Amino acid sequence: MNFIMPDISTTTPTNLALEQSPTNGIERTVEHTLEPVVEPESTKISLSVGASYTKPMWYFAMPSNKLKRGKMVSKTILEEPLLIGRDENGVIFALRDVCPHQGIPLTKGNYNGKEIECCFHGWRFNNEGTCTAIPSLLEDQEFNVCSIKTKNYICVEDQGCIWIYFGDKTANLADISAYIPRAPGLKENNFSKTITTLRIPTHIDYAVLALIDTSHVPYVHKSWWWRSSRNMKRKEKKYVPSGNGWTMVRHHPSKHSHIFKLIGDLIETEISFRLPGCRIEHITVGGKTLLSGITTLTAVDELTTELNHTTYWTIPWIAPFIRPIINYFVHTFLSQDLEIATAQAPILAKRPNLILTIKDSGTPGAWYFKLKQVWMEAHAQNRPFKNPIKESILRWWT
pLDDT tens, residue by residue, 317-361: 777 788 888 898 899 989 999 999 999 999 998 888 888 888 899
In the chain, count H helices and then E strands: 6, 20
More confident residue, 167 or 39: 167
More confident residue, 370 or 265: 370
- Give percent above pLDDT 70 in the chain: 83
Q: Per DSSP, what are the bridge partners of residue 251?
A: 269
More confident residue, 1 or 205: 205
Q: What is the mean pLDDT of residues 283-288?
A: 88
Q: What pLDDT, on a 0 to 100 scale, did the predictor assign at position 225? A: 59
pLDDT at 30 over 50: no
Cβ atoms of 98 and 118 within 8 Å: the answer is: no
| pLDDT bucket at 188, cuts 50 / 70 / 90 | confident
In which element (H, E) is residue 165 found?
Answer: strand 161-166
Q: What is the mean pLDDT of residues 221-234?
A: 69
Q: Own/partner pairs for 257-262, CB < 8 Å, 24+ apart?
A: 257/225, 257/226, 257/227, 258/224, 258/225, 258/226, 259/225, 259/226
Q: What is the DSSP string of 227-256?
A: --TTS--EEEEEEEEETTEEEEEEEPPPSS
User: What values do phi and psi take at 386, rounded to 5?
Assistant: -120, 115
**pTM for this entry:** 0.86
Q: What pLDDT, on a 0 to 100 scale, did the predictor assign at position 129? A: 98
Cα distance between residue 349 and residue 254, in whole Å: 36
CATH architecture of 57-170: 3-layer Sandwich (2.102)
In which element (H, E) is residue 67 found?
Answer: none
Angle between the 319-348 and 204-212 helix axes, to the nearest 10 degrees? 130
- Looking at the chain, the domain(s) classified CATH 3.90.380.10 span 182-350+391-397
pLDDT at 35 over 90: no
Q: What pLDDT, on a 0 to 100 scale, did the predictor assign at position 42? A: 45
Q: What is the mean pLDDT of residues 142-155?
A: 96
pLDDT at 214 over 90: no
Best CA proximity match to 273, nearest among 203, 214, 359, 232: 214
CB-based contacts of 318, cutoff 8 Å, min separation 6: none
Q: What is the DSSP string of 270-316?
A: EEEEETTTEEEEEEEETTEEEEEEEEEEEEEETTEEEEEEEEEES-G
Q: What pLDDT, on a 0 to 100 scale, did the predictor assign at position 36? A: 36
More confident residue, 283 or 253: 283
43 class by beta-carbon count within 10 Å (0-12 exposed, 13-18 middle, 19+ buried): exposed
Cβ atoms of 163 and 276 within 8 Å: the answer is: no
- Looking at the chain, the domain(s) classified CATH 2.102.10.10 span 57-170
Cα distance between residue 70 and residue 377, in whole Å: 40
CATH fold for domain 182-350+391-397: Naphthalene 1,2-dioxygenase Alpha Subunit; Chain A, domain 1 (3.90.380)
In which element (H, E) is residue 24 found?
Answer: none
> Which of 18-27, 191-200, 257-266, 315-324 bottoms out in mean pLDDT, i.e. has the lowest?
18-27
| pLDDT bucket at 190, cuts 50 / 70 / 90 | confident
Tell me the average pLDDT of the chain: 86
Q: Which residues of 234-251 are buried (b: 16+ CB within 10 A; e: fewer)?
A: ebebebebebbbbbbeee
Question: Taking the CA of residue 348 as centre, how many other CA atoms within 13 Å lie in the half-sphere pointing to its CB?
Answer: 22
Q: What is the per-residue pLDDT across 56-94, written as a single tens digit (0 to 9) for each?
A: 999 999 999 999 999 999 999 999 999 999 999 999 999
> Which of 36-40, 54-58, 113-117, 226-230 bottoms out in mean pLDDT, i.e. has the lowest?
36-40
pLDDT at 18 over 50: no
